Structure formats: structure tokens, C-alpha cells
Structure 1
Amino acid sequence: MDGHIYQRRKTFTYVVDLPKDPVTGKRRQKTKGRFKTEKEARRAMRKFIVQLEEGEYLEPSKELFSEFILNWFNEHYSKRIKATTAESRRYTVKKHLIEGNPFANNTLDTITAHDIDSLYNTKLDAEYSTSYIRKIHQLLTKAFDQAVKWNKIKENPAKKADPPCIKREEMRIWSFEHIHRFLDESTGERTFPIFYLALYTGMRRGEILGLMWKDIDFDKKVIHVKRTLSFVPKKGYIFTSPKTARSKRQIPVSNEVIQVLQQVQQTQREWKKRLQDAYEDNDLVFCTELGKPQDPQNILRVMRRLIEGAGVTRIRFHDLRHTHASILLNNNVDIVKVSARLGHANPRVTLEIYAHLLPNNQSEVPEVFEDLMKRNLKEPR
């Protein structure tokens, strides 16, 4: 590795040739000066050359964070995740890591853990949820990890940052009275079976809209959850695999649920007969009169209207799932069975979400323990 030293006025400077630019092929050099003596400059130059030869030196990246995060997301990260996930995280990157980020126009090599913590505090002040800020943190961590692998920075500043602990928002669920009022209000609506299935099975909205007739075993009264429907801008409606491996599951249902589904099937037969070739048969359980996928956003608009008409507490579609789970758990259904029904990764996830709903009657515990102790006592005291 070539290097030389020269004197400039009263100080000394060293210059070392770096490997040529891998993209342009141009010559590159590292220059450092203001050494008081030639000996001091030569010692520093030798140390730098050793670092360079052993691969310990990393040239500071002058790439702007905003340029890097966009390139990382578009050319790397988005190609490794589901299209629906990429779309939601694309918004997060644009909104919070580029437009609403104080260090967006800083170079990669200057960003610190303090900068990142300041970003999190800004989001907290703007009243974003702690869980959402943790998602921003996860994106930053992944992005900076890749920057390290690409030799743009030496270490990941996000790993030294301190994201807020998740504070679970209060769960909104309906009482039996509100469930019945909402279903009464929904009767006669084309979307009634969708809301009915959500309340009676705990299925996610995308899982319900992605349901096909081949997924339903009417004889065994079982629904097989195999896919989910989502709408992605510029791509349209797409079917993807469920959220986790455990989300692919079998859900036993009652006779009443089967009857509701059979009525939907009969309605579709009438549509096909009336429309003939104009009907687009996608085997979907829930579709438009032309057989096309239901717009997920339209389901939400209808739900808001029906909630207002029924005069019940306003909740999200996902809270229908929470309502289903809370009813089962409050009536002593085994948490392992509830977890399998909801498609959680494991019962621990279910417990973390619904622990506050589990019956907490401990009045008989002391007597049970005392009785067991007495029954297993070898010699009376």
C-alpha cells in the first residue's frame, strides 16, 4: 500500500492510496494532516495502512440517509416480504423516515443513537402509539444492519437507541346486547354473513374475504383457512398466505354458521343464473354480484354505517375477533383451543393479548393446596 508524507507550513500530512472506486474505477486517496512532527505523521500513516490491509478501515459514507433508506427499501427489503406488508411499510418509510425525520438529510456516518432517540420522542409527542414507534425502530434496525453489511457504516446506531416499551391499548369489545343489536341492524345486508362469520369464528377480515367454497367442508362443519385477500395500490386485489404458519388452520363451526353459508351459496347460484357469462366465477364465498372480490375498505364503510344505525359502541372490524375470543375465554374455554382457533403462533401470544380477560377466581386455591398437602402427608403431625 503506497503512502507518502509532506510538510505544509509547520505541520505534516500523510497521503495513502486507497483501492480504486469499484464503480467508476477512479483513483482514491486518504489524506490526514496537522501532525506536529514528521515522526508522528509517519506513525499514524503506518497504523492506517495496517487497518486498511486488515480490512478494519471503513471509509465514512457520505450518502444521505434519505437516499440510502429509499434505495434499501426499493431494491432490497421490499423484494423479501409480502406485497401487502411492503405497501404498508412503504408508507411508514416515506411518512416517518423521510418526510418526518430530522436526520433524513444527514449522511449515514453521522447518525447517532441520540438522533434516533430524538426521532422516537418526536413521534411520542405526536401521540403515535408505542407499538407503531417500535415498528419504526424495527425498520431502522434492519436498514442499518444492511448498511453495515454493505460496508457503508461500521456499526448499527439503532441498536444503541432506546425505543419506548409497548403500552397495550385498551381493547374494545361488545357485550352480548351490542352483538345482537348490530346483527339485527345488519340483517338483510349483503355484508351480514361477513360480520356474522367474524363474530362466530374470530377470523380476520382478509381471511374471510379470501375464503373459497373449496375451503368449506359442509359435512364435517369445518372451515379451512388457507389464504387472505388484500388490496395493494397499483396491483389490485391479491391473495397471499395467512399472517403466520399457524394462521393456516381448521375452524370447527356450528350448524347455524353452516346454514348462513349455505344461504350465501344459494344467493350466488341465483346471481350466476341471472348473469350467466357476465358472472366471473372465482369460487369466492364473499364477492360482488359479478363474482369479483369484495373491496375490504367497503366492508369498513358499511360497518360504520350499521354501527351508527344500531347505536352501539364504535369498534374496528378486528375487534369482532377480540369479541369472539373474549366470550370464549370468559366462559372457561381452554386457552390452547382458543389460540388454535384464532391462528396465533402459540398460546403465549393469546395469553399476552387476552390475559386480562381470563377468569381470576382464586378463592378456592388456598383450600385446594391445603387439601393436597394433607392428603400427601405420610405421618400426621
Structure 2
Amino acid sequence: MGSIRARPKTGKLFFDFRYQGERCREQTALDDTPTNRRKARQVLERIEAEITLGTFDYARYFPNSAQAAQLAQKAQEAAGHTPRLQDFADIWFEEMKVQWRKTHQETVYLTLKKYILPEFGDKEVGVITKAHLLEFRSTLAKVTSRKGKPLSTTRINHIMLPLRMMLNEAANRYDFISPYHGIKSLKVPRSDVAPFTVDEVKRILQTVRADFRAYYTVRFFTGLRTGEIDGLQWQYVDFDRRQILVRQAWVKGELVSTKNDGSFRTVEMSQLVHDALQEQHRVTGGATWVFCSRDGTPLSHNNVTQRIWYPLLRHLGLAKRRPYQTRHTAATLWLAAGESPEWIARQMGHATTEMLFRVYSRFVPNLTRQDGSAFERLLRAHFGINSPETRTNTASPEEGP
């Protein structure tokens, strides 16, 4: 914290603050009066705010300062000993990729190649300024995607993220202040979820092709992500305990581990899901994958979406929605049934209930139950299935969730 002080001999005020690890004292021509101290304090507050944000220009405030020239020289000397971003990016990428999925490696590599290196590749990491970064981000907002639409705020943040990580790491290694200091990610507008109603789900399941009815039944009533259901193998379907073990996902033609620790979870089967998987087992039970193509390979979600999902919605006169809305539908139906938010969060793979309330708050009517039984009642009421106690050739009540 800086201060405003007065010279004992002259009675003139001077600034006393720290910048880039150096103590800075700059003289003024102001006499030591309450009014002048207040004015100087306001200037000092602006200086300290700009130092925090990384936008402070020493020479602008103190153009004739010898210390300003010294600090500028020091920064220039430090910059002269830093590598080009292109060279540092090669080192950084090799060090980081060991902890990333292959799909994420490809995403970062393409981001570097398409956006970051063409702009900053030939610049030394030590001379890249905050102004350079803000100008680059502003330029990204004017870029259009292959569909002719501007890049989304989320996409821009994802492009900037590797750049921030590299500059922060370079600043630590080469002892300079990261120009990214004080730059926050762009605020992403909250996207309203568009889940299906129970009646819409019924229409979809009654109309969809018979060979995909089980697939969409499981999607609608388990909350599995696209990669999780496409990567589901029979070894992770436990009919005895009526559970689906989510352990992996099929992403871009590759079987990968789950998205995070929370995604590594156990999903309870409702009666409807249990019956759908039993029916599916009679079709693909001899294969590795629960839902697969005729040659036994995992489904191509793009192919299924374009050939099955969107044509079905058009046929039913329903608004076009991404298949991911089936996951939102599961969450909102559980909430509508009155299930406990903690139970729902576990089913969805959320570490806490925070996201549940943030995303689905308007769908929370009355949370009382915590074991899935309320959801069973909702399904029985709308789909006309019997409870496990009244069915034959199904799990006993003791084997239920």
C-alpha cells in the first residue's frame, strides 16, 4: 500500500509506492495541505489500481522521472532474454499434453495453429503487453465461424485460455510480470436449458424407430452425456443391482476416461430404463457395446443426430433441440418428481448441488425424496408401467435401487 508523504525540509508532497518490486518515490510541487493530500491520494489510488490491472504507464504519470527510464530499461533487458512465443509454445505443449486427453491435445494444437501463433508467434513472450492481448481478443470478436456466425463468447474464452497459461508460465520462468494479469474472461451469457416435457418425451419414444427406442429411453431417463451412452459397454451394466456404471466415454472415435472425477459414477436404473436395457440386451447382448452399429462398432453421434434425431423432431412438430437436452430433461423430471438434489447431483455426475440449482432452479418445485422412488411414481403415472413389486421376472424389491 503506497502513501503520500511530505519532505521535512521543503514541505512538498511526494508519492511513495512499489512497482515491479522496486520502491518508487516521486516528488510533486504540491504544498502539504489537506486539499493537496486528498488530490494526491486520489492519484495514488488510480496508480495502484492500474498497477493491479497491469495497465500502469510510469512515464505517463511521471514523464521526467529518472526511475521511469530505469524501469523501462530493465524491462527491455528482461524482454531481450525471453524466447519467441512460437518456441516457448513448443516446449509448453510437450510438457502439458501428458496430462490431457488426446481430444483436448488436438483442440489446443488447433487453437495454437489457427489463432494464437499467427498473431504472436514471432513476438518474444517478454514483450507481449496487455494492450496486445486485449486487441487480439477484440479481433476475435469480429471473426466468423464456418457457418458465417461470429465466434461465441465461450469460444473466444477457450481460444484465450492457452495463451494465458503460456504467458503466466513464461512469466514465472523468465521473471517478468505476466501481461495477462488483471484480464478476466469474458462473461458468458447464461443459456436457458430447453428440456422436454413428459408428454413430449412420450411422443418421441412412441414415434422413434424401434431400433432406437431403447437408446433414447436410456438417454431421457438417466442423464447420460452423449459420449457416455455411446461408450457404454455391457460389462458396466449391472442388472442385478439395477445400476449403470459410468466409467468411460466415446469421443471423436476414441474411448477415453470420464470427463472428471464426478463423472465417474453409478447411475440407478428406473424400471423404464431397466426394461429398455433388457430389451436391448436381446439385440446386442453378444457385442461389446450396448448401442452399436450393425458391424458392432459404437454409434456415430453426428450420424444419429442428423438421420434420426432431427428428422424425428421435425416430424413431431417439436422445436429443434440438441440431443444434449435429453440430459437436461432427466434432471428436470427428477426435480419435478421431488427427488433430493444431492441424489440428482450424483446421478448427473456433479460434485455438488451448486450447478443443479444454478441451471435448473426454475424447475425445483418441492424436494422431499432422495432415493429415486418419486421418479418411479412419475414414470408409472405417465407411461403405465407396473412397479417392481407387481412384476414377474424382474428384480425383487430387495434388489432395487
Q: What TM-score range do you get, normalising by the shorter chain?
A: 0.5 to 0.7
Query: In the alignment, is the contact (CA less than 8 A) between 1:244 and 1:345 conserved in 2?
Result: no
Matches within 5 A, 1:1-381: 58=78, 60-61=80-81, 63-73=83-93, 75-99=94-118, 101=119, 103-126=120-143, 127-151=150-174, 154-188=176-210, 190-231=211-252, 237-268=253-284, 281=287, 283-302=288-307, 303-359=309-365
Q: Tell me: CA distance 1:215–1:177, structure 2 relative to 1, closer, same or farther (3 Å).
A: same
Distance 1:80 1:346 in 2: 24
Code of the residue aligned with 2:241 in structure 1: it is K
Distance 1:355 1:136 in 2: 30
Query: In the alignment, is the contact (CA less than 8 A) between 1:329 and 1:357 conserved in 2?
Result: yes
Which shows bigger deviation, 212-221 or 142-151?
142-151
What's the TM-score once normalised by structure 1's chain length?
Answer: 0.68
Code of the residue aligned with 1:140 in structure 2: it is L
Query: In the alignment, is the contact (CA less than 8 A) between 1:209 and 1:228 conserved in 2?
Result: yes
Offset of 1:90 from its aligned partner? 2.8
Identity rate, percent: 23
Offset of 1:206 from its aligned partner? 0.9
Q: Secondary structure at the match of 1:158?
A: coil
Aligned pair count?
290
Gaps of 5+ in 1: 1-39, 52-56, 232-236, 273-280, 362-381
Code of the residue aligned with 1:288 in structure 2: it is S
Q: Tell me: CA distance 1:201–1:128, structure 2 relative to 1, closer, same or farther (3 Å).
A: same
Offset of 1:245 from its aligned partner? 0.9
Q: Tell me: CA distance 1:147–1:318, structure 2 relative to 1, closer, same or farther (3 Å).
A: same
Query: In the alignment, is the contact (CA less than 8 A) between 1:84 and 1:230 conserved in 2?
Result: yes
Cα-to-partner distance string for 1:306-362 (whole Å, 9 max, x where unaligned) = 22222211111211111211222234322111111100121122222223433499x
Distance 2:272 2:79 in 1: 68
Query: In the alignment, is the contact (CA less than 8 A) between 2:214 and 2:279 conserved in 1?
Result: no
Query: In the alignment, is the contact (CA less than 8 A) between 2:79 and 2:124 conserved in 1?
Result: no
Code of the residue aligned with 2:339 in structure 1: it is V
Distance 2:280 2:337 in 1: 30
Cα-to-partner distance string for 1:213-258 (whole Å, 9 max, x where unaligned) = 1211112211111111112xxxxx3222211112111111122211
Q: Tell me: CA distance 1:187–1:112, structure 2 relative to 1, closer, same or farther (3 Å).
A: same
Q: Tell me: CA distance 1:163–1:250, structure 2 relative to 1, closer, same or farther (3 Å).
A: closer
Offset of 1:202 from its aligned partner? 0.5
Distance 1:284 1:184 in 2: 24
**RMSD across aligned C-alpha pairs, in angstroms?**
3.0
Cα-to-partner distance string for 1:59-118 (whole Å, 9 max, x where unaligned) = 525644345435533x2222221112222333333333235x4x4543322211122122
Aligned to 2:38: none
Which shows bigger deviation, 169-178 or 109-118?
169-178
Q: Tell me: CA distance 1:88–1:136, structure 2 relative to 1, closer, same or farther (3 Å).
A: same
Gaps of 5+ in 2: 1-65, 144-149, 368-401
Code of the residue aligned with 1:287 in structure 2: it is C
Query: In the alignment, is the contact (CA less than 8 A) between 2:79 and 2:125 conserved in 1?
Result: no
